[in-house]
């Protein structure tokens, strides 16, 4: 059974080493969890395996996702353990870090799409305006004919 102090250490170590974790090759990630298990075992006198530590952290992430879905009205449920760490996990610190280059690129793509959408809307409005002018010209011509036909001044 995991104690609060052990969970706190697990979360803090994952936060501290997240960028390092994602720099590892897939086969080296097992070593990461074994090393973290060793640190927890030394500090608390436990006998966790690397796989146990990894599974526990992934369980915390699943609990957060379940609560987050519940909060957003997309199903899910409230889990007591996940509720305790919900605010902290909102930062999604365990996700793969995104470089500044990628962030700027994504912002530029979003801005370009918004700009293209705005241009498309302006073109549509312009076309609608031209159609409206043609329609109004047709109405004006019809009114002129009616004036002549009915001798309206």
Q: What is the pLDDT of residue 51?
A: 96
Over the stretch 67-79, which tens digit does the pLDDT of each residue have? 888 888 887 777 7
What is residue 120's three-state secondary structure?
A: helix
User: Over 90: is that where the pLDDT of 5 sits?
Assistant: yes
User: Over 70: is that where the pLDDT of 141 sits?
Assistant: no
Query: Residues 9-32: what's their mean pLDDT?
Result: 93
Which tokens is 39 given?
Answer: 């640190």
- Whether this model's pTM surpasses 0.75: no
Q: What is the average pLDDT value for the chain, to the nearest integer?
A: 81
User: Over 80: is that where the pLDDT of 108 sits?
Assistant: no
Q: What is the dihedral of CA 110, 116, 122, 123, to 10 degrees?
A: -160
Cα–Cα distance, 38 to 53 (Å, whole number) = 10
**Per-residue confidence at 65, pLDDT binned at 50, 70, 90?**
confident
What is residue 3's three-state secondary structure?
A: coil
Over the stretch 116-133, which tens digit does the pLDDT of each residue have? 777 787 777 777 766 655
More reliable by pLDDT, 148 or 11: 11
User: Over 80: is that where the pLDDT of 153 sits?
Assistant: no
Q: What is the pLDDT of residue 148?
A: 65
Reported residue count of the chain is 153
Which tokens is 95 given?
Answer: 């996700």
Comparing CA positions, the residue from 52, 60, 13, 6 lying closest to residue 21 is 13
User: Over 90: is that where the pLDDT of 90 sits?
Assistant: no
Cα angle, residue 101 at apex, residues 120 and 94 outer, rounded to 5°: 105
């Amino acid at each position: 059974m995991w104690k609060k102090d052990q969970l706190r250490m697990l979360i803090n170590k994952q936060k501290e080493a997240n960028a390092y974790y994602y720099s590892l090759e897939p086969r080296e990630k097992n070593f990461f969890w074994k090393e973290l298990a060793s640190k927890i075992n030394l500090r608390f006198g436990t006998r966790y395996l690397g796989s146990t530590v990894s599974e526990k952290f992934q369980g915390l992430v699943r609990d957060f996702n379940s609560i987050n879905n519940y909060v957003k009205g997309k199903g899910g449920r409230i889990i007591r353990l996940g509720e305790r760490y919900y605010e902290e996990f909102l930062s999604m610190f365990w996700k793969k870090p995104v470089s500044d280059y990628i962030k700027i690129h994504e912002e530029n793509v979003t801005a370009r799409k918004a700009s293209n959408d705005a241009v498309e809307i302006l073109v549509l409005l312009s076309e609608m305006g031209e159609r409206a002018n043609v329609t109004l010209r047709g109405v004006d011509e019809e009114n002129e004919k009616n004036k002549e036909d009915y001798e309206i001044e």
